[in-house]
């Protein structure tokens, strides 16, 4: 595979939507977003109405409507993207990606001060070039950072860094001493959402994002792992294939 090539989640060489399933996904997404956009739009109108300003209590309630609406929109997008992956409709264009600037860009997307202040970049990390889709990898890193923060029971900090994997590729490590999960939850984090044991896993919003992150990493030829160390807490690990000088993934990471 050469730079700029694409990985698809099914056998259709053109990546075309398929039959009734594709139409259902498209129509469902449009209908859900249309309803939600109307709710968010009216909430914004209430908030910006200078002729009839909201009282402090009313503003707090409108803010809650908007926060819940944006969260629901993210859940809808995640669910529809998982459906597209399952239907073989998602194209993942692959190219060499420099990880250090990608991690910095990912942290910059955590634009809420209460969130971004709890995430740091490991200064000891080495730079590396991997074989991936930069937009999708950035999406994965952001989702895992947000998931790690939500799973942090102590409200502490989360550190993201890089290290070399045993296979010869590169590993993105998201870790924190407050990420220790309840016994047995690690095995349930990536179960299918309809699996009976999944109900004891993380909160639904967190699990959906983690499952989508796992699927996207797999489409890029990588792996997502959870590691727990009693001394240093838990880590989310993204294992990625290295990039060979001649183009394409390095053979060492494919072993």
Taking the complete model, does pTM exceed 0.85, yes or no? no
- Mean pLDDT, rounded, for 111-134: 79
The mean pLDDT of 1-5, rounded to a whole number, is 52
Query: Is the pLDDT confidence value at 15 over 50?
Result: no
Domain boundaries, the chain: 19-87, 94-254
Dist. CA 139–CA 245, nearest whole Å: 26
Q: Which whole number is the average pLDDT over 184-197?
A: 53
The dihedral built from the CA positions of residue 60, 62, 65 and 71, taken in this order, carries a sign that is negative
Q: Which of 7-21, 156-170, 183-197 has the lowest mean pLDDT?
A: 7-21
| Sequence-separated (6 or more) residues with CB below 8 Å from residue 235 | 173, 174, 175, 179, 226, 227, 228, 229
Structure tokens at 78: 């995640």
- What CATH architecture applies to the domain 94-254? 2-Layer Sandwich (3.30)
Tens of pLDDT, residue by residue over 194-236, are 555 445 555 555 677 788 888 999 999 998 887 776 666 677 8
pLDDT reported for residue 17: 43
Q: What is the 3-state secondary structure (H, E, C) of the chain?
A: CCCCCEEECCCCCCCCCCHHHHHHHHHHHHHHHHHHHHHHHHHHHHHHCCCCCCCHHHHHHHHHHHHHHHHHHHHHHHHHHHHHHHCCCCEEECEEEEHHHHHHHHHHCCCCHHHHCCEEECCCCCCCEEEECHHHHHHHHHHHHHHHHHCCCCCCCEEEEEEECCCCCEEEEEEECCCCCCCCHHHHCCCCCCCHHHHHCCCHHHHHHHHHHHHHHHHCCCEEEEEEECCCEEEEEEEECEECCCCCECHHHHC
More confident residue, 87 or 69: 69
pLDDT at residue 173 is higher than 70: yes
């Amino acid at each position: 595979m050469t730079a700029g090539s694409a990985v698809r989640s099914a056998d259709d060489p053109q990546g075309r939507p398929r039959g009734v399933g594709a139409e259902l996904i498209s129509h469902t997404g449009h209908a859900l977003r249309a309803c939600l956009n109307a709710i968010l739009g009216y909430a914004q109108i209430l908030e910006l109405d200078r002729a009839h300003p909201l009282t402090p209590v009313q503003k707090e309630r409108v803010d809650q409507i908007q926060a819940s609406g944006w969260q629901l929109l993210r859940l809808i997008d995640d669910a529809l993207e998982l459906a597209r992956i399952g239907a073989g409709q998602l194209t993942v264009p692959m190219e060499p990606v420099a990880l250090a600037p990608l991690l910095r860009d990912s942290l910059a997307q955590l634009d809420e001060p209460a969130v971004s202040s709890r995430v740091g970049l490991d200064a000891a990390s080495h730079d590396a070039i991997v074989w991936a889709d930069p937009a999708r990898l950035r999406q994965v890193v952001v989702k895992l950072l947000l998931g790690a923060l939500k799973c942090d029971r102590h409200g502490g900090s989360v550190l993201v860094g890089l290290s070399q994997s045993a296979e010869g590729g590169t590993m993105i490590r998201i870790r924190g001493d407050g990420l220790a999960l309840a016994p047995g939850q690690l095995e349930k984090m990536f179960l299918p959402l309809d699996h009976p044991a999944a109900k004891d896993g993380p909160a639904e919003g967190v699990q959906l994002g983690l499952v989508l992150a796992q699927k996207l990493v797999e489409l890029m030829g990588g792996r997502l792992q959870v590691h727990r160390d009693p001394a240093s807490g838990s880590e989310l690990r993204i294992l990625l294939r290295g990039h060979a000088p001649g183009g394409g993934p390095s053979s060492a990471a494919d072993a």
